[in-house]
Structure 1
Amino acid sequence: MEQLGSTKKTSFYVIGISYKKADAKLRGDFSLSPTKKARLLNQAKTSGIQSIVATSTCNRTEIYAFVNDPNELVQLLCNNTVGTIEALEPVAYTLKDSLAIEHMFRVGAGLDSQILGDFEIISQLKSSARVSKKYGLLDAFLERLINSVIQASKRIKTETKLSSGATSVSFASVQYILKSVKDVTTKNILLFGTGKIGRNTCENLIKHTKNEHITLINRTRDRAEKIAGKFKVLVKDYSQLPEEIKNTDILIVATGAQNPTVDKQLIQNKKELLILDLSLPKNVDENVKDLKNVTLTHLDELSNITDETLNKRKEFIPVAEAIIEEIKNAFLAWLEYRKFAPTIKALKEKLNVFAEAEIDVQRKKLEDFNKTQADLISAQIVQKITNHFAHHLKQEASSGKKSLELIQEIFQLDS
């Protein structure tokens, strides 16, 4: 599968690391913050890569691109994270062309998520594509593919119950709290971090716990206040974090920091404290386990939670896969058409030259010649002829190359 519009012989690859083989610590080593992603894209552009998208979530980091050798992408990832090639090799995966396309569809549909039906990856894919486009690194192929994946994701959400109810890590964390904490409505809950996972967790807390003692803290107070206004919860300043931790029963950490923001020195309370770390890299230092009153749970443990609702979602996998197959085939048909579109365009231009020449001859012969009407008729005939050729090439995909060569030879078109 060669890159559209490129003279370089490249293939479409995805390289990645996910929860399937790598634990949270290792995934954290290869996670891409916005700054790291920007640096990666700049390096890709400098090295001659023309189309690339990099995504990074708590469950996976993946790079999709057209390259000669997938090791180029491995090197890019290692150059811009703290991970090493030696650490990546045993857990990484590499997929090429049709397998890479299939993988992107399954990821976007929530079929490859740590919690079945979790669609949070799709927003990451959208934003990553926007960033690549800003850098001039999103070609027609990759843009169309991502749009097709988004379309499949929307249809699966609408036409199946694969994502019925909440289906994310934030949902799993609330389920964990409900199962682990008695009288949860009376407990003080502190949410530190108001990114997407933090917002979703806040919404799920209110919806499922009926707790009215929820406090938000974020490094930027404005962001916390926006969420607090929507959900009617308290907001405290970042400087009040130690004091608030002292008064809380459940601490949920969902910040986007690259290093731990909570450690045992920050915890002064003596009562039982449950800490859920929903961040990647981990934002809670393991040393909090030294405190006997503290229980620490990370998102990998939360994602192993299964319940009746999640099991029911499995019934909708075949329908989701059928939707993916339909939209994927439409994408591949578009891709096939792109291969002969230049020939059809050249054919149309050649037929227009023939038409113009004949109209010019007839105009000189006939005194009452109506050029406007002749132009209209000839344009319609040319369009019908090119449509017939295009339809033939679509229908004869297996022998498309021979048909293209024959058209180019008959009409003396540049190949």
Structure 2
Amino acid sequence: MTFFAFGLNHETAPVALRERFALREEAIRHLYRHVRLSPDAEYVVLSTCNRTEVYLFGRWADVHTLRAWMAERAGTTWPEPASFLVEDEAALLHLLEVTAGLKSLVLGDAQIFTQVKTAYQVAVEEEVVGTVMHRLMHTAFRGAKRVAAETVLGQGAASVSTAAAELARRHVEARPGGGPARAVMIGAGQMGRLALEALYARGFSEVLLINRTRARLEPLAAASGADVADWEERHRALADADVVIVATGADAPVLRAESVPTRTRSSECLLIDIAVPRNVDPAIDALPGYRVADLDWIDTCIGEVARQRQAARPAAQAICRELAQDFVTWVFHQQALQPAIHAIRETFETIRRQEIERHAHRFSEADRRELERLTGSIMQKLMAVPIVRLKDTDPGSIDFVRGVKLLSTLFSRPGCDDASEAESSALTQSRLLTEPARPEAPARSEEPAAGCPVASPQRGGESSVA
């Protein structure tokens, strides 16, 4: 089993290719439910406006299966030159840095943290994550919180939405004539709401809200004081707008070149498309009085924001490396524990089964079911004592290493002929590890290994199975 991170993002692929591989939540849930991976594989799929990536604890065959499914859905082959794939520690570090905003289009993007948490929640609901991925995702969340609290990476404009609003401000300030600027916001989702807040923070006072479902706009308009227009008015609203930000969940452009009206203002209208797939027809850019900026265009225009945050990058990366190393230590800890835990469970379960079968004739069917439940519960409680204490031991200490070896020896299930010798060796090791040296006690009669048949003494020193 290996850790993998792979997919496409704004660093590897242009927006035209990313939008082909973008996955809505319903598509991701379909993937979780219908695509079969290795029985013990665990994974999370993240798809945002800037990336479609998979974080996988599995095998190479699982990587091939997932890439084939994604390529087939996109109607193409897997874009090897425009994708990435990293393994092991590099994959862990990639996920931590994505969650902390270190890999975002806008360095320190605050929105990505919520997007990763949402992706994880969907994976949890679809039951495709287990102990390892649970631990890894929560490590990533802890890292993002530390980066936000301990560095200045998240200060200032912190998302694509706020970067779009900053571009809008610059565009309006550069237009001739001045005067009040009119902005149109199409889309009432999370990115749209963030962009609206950022527009007001940058001095826009005339904002028109448009959404396919008008009911979703009413609370937003009431809270912000913005005007509202029907969905059918979206093209006509462009005629006298200075800037338009578009962020809907549509799979195709919602603004088409053939429906765009003639400008009523002499200044140019800037349409900022921050959706993936793109929501603005690229052909509008060729029309008089209109200019289109998509995510690729935004990427070239936000270098200043990135430069201001570069100073915080080393400290943020150090936090991610520290937590990635902590996670690797935890993984080794778990791998070292598994033989001991398996030995404990197998030994206790064997003894439980033997005793139930031995006394089964004394109980009714109903009583036997209750006996199964009761003994199972007792077994779990008995197992918890050594396992919990061992897990609480520092995995880097010699006590941990000794404890794993001791438990594996104590609870291993050798053949009954070898049981006495094995148990004697285990008890001797236990005394050496846990007690100071002291004089040897007189020899005692040995007990048979747990779960082995009891021998009855016979004449002549022989024994037979009772």
> Does the Cα contact within 8 Å between 1:247 and 1:269 map onto a contact in 2?
no
Aligned pairs for 1:216-235 (under 5 A) are 216-235=209-228
Aligned pairs for 1:6-405 (under 5 A) are 11-45=2-36, 48=39, 50-69=41-60, 70-85=63-78, 88-182=79-173, 186-208=180-202, 210-270=203-263, 271=265, 272-306=268-302, 309-343=305-339, 345=341, 387=389, 391=393, 393-396=395-398, 404=404
C-alpha separation in 2, matches of 1:350 and 1:76: 39
> Does the Cα contact within 8 Å between 2:107 and 2:309 map onto a contact in 1?
yes
Larger Rg: 2
C-alpha separation in 2, matches of 1:78 and 1:393: 42
Question: CA 1:197–1:178 in structure 2 vs 1: closer, same or farther (change >3 Å)?
Answer: same
* Seq. identity, %: 26
1:357 aligns with none
The secondary structure found in structure 1 opposite 2:228 is strand
C-alpha separation in 1, matches of 2:145 and 2:15: 29
The secondary structure found in structure 1 opposite 2:74 is coil
1:319, distance to aligned residue in structure 2 (A)? 1.5
Question: CA 1:348–1:286 in structure 2 vs 1: closer, same or farther (change >3 Å)?
Answer: closer
Question: CA 1:389–1:99 in structure 2 vs 1: closer, same or farther (change >3 Å)?
Answer: closer
Deviation track 1:72-114 (CA, whole Å, cap 9, x = no partner) reads: 22112113334432xx111111112222111101111111112
> Does the Cα contact within 8 Å between 2:271 and 2:293 map onto a contact in 1?
yes
Question: CA 1:84–1:119 in structure 2 vs 1: closer, same or farther (change >3 Å)?
Answer: farther
The residue type paired with residue 149 of structure 2 is T
1:118, distance to aligned residue in structure 2 (A)? 1.1
1:50, distance to aligned residue in structure 2 (A)? 3.9
The residue type paired with residue 100 of structure 1 is A
C-alpha separation in 2, matches of 1:298 and 1:219: 21
1:242, distance to aligned residue in structure 2 (A)? 2.7
> Does the Cα contact within 8 Å between 1:12 and 1:100 map onto a contact in 2?
yes
**Which structure carries more relative contact order (alpha carbon 8 Å, separation 6+)?**
1
1:245, distance to aligned residue in structure 2 (A)? 2.3
Deviation track 1:20-43 (CA, whole Å, cap 9, x = no partner) reads: 121110111111112221222223
Question: CA 1:267–1:47 in structure 2 vs 1: closer, same or farther (change >3 Å)?
Answer: farther
C-alpha separation in 1, matches of 2:299 and 2:112: 15
The residue type paired with residue 312 of structure 1 is Q
C-alpha separation in 1, matches of 2:11 and 2:185: 28
Matched positions, count: 374
Query: How does the TM-score come out when normalised to structure 2?
Result: 0.72
1:156, distance to aligned residue in structure 2 (A)? 0.9
Unaligned segments of structure 2, at least 5 residues: 350-380, 415-466
Query: How does the TM-score come out when normalised to structure 1?
Result: 0.81
The residue type paired with residue 292 of structure 1 is P
1:202, distance to aligned residue in structure 2 (A)? 0.5
1:293, distance to aligned residue in structure 2 (A)? 1.3
Question: CA 1:223–1:413 in structure 2 vs 1: closer, same or farther (change >3 Å)?
Answer: farther
> Does the Cα contact within 8 Å between 2:344 and 2:412 map onto a contact in 1?
no
1:330, distance to aligned residue in structure 2 (A)? 2.9
Question: CA 1:413–1:264 in structure 2 vs 1: closer, same or farther (change >3 Å)?
Answer: same
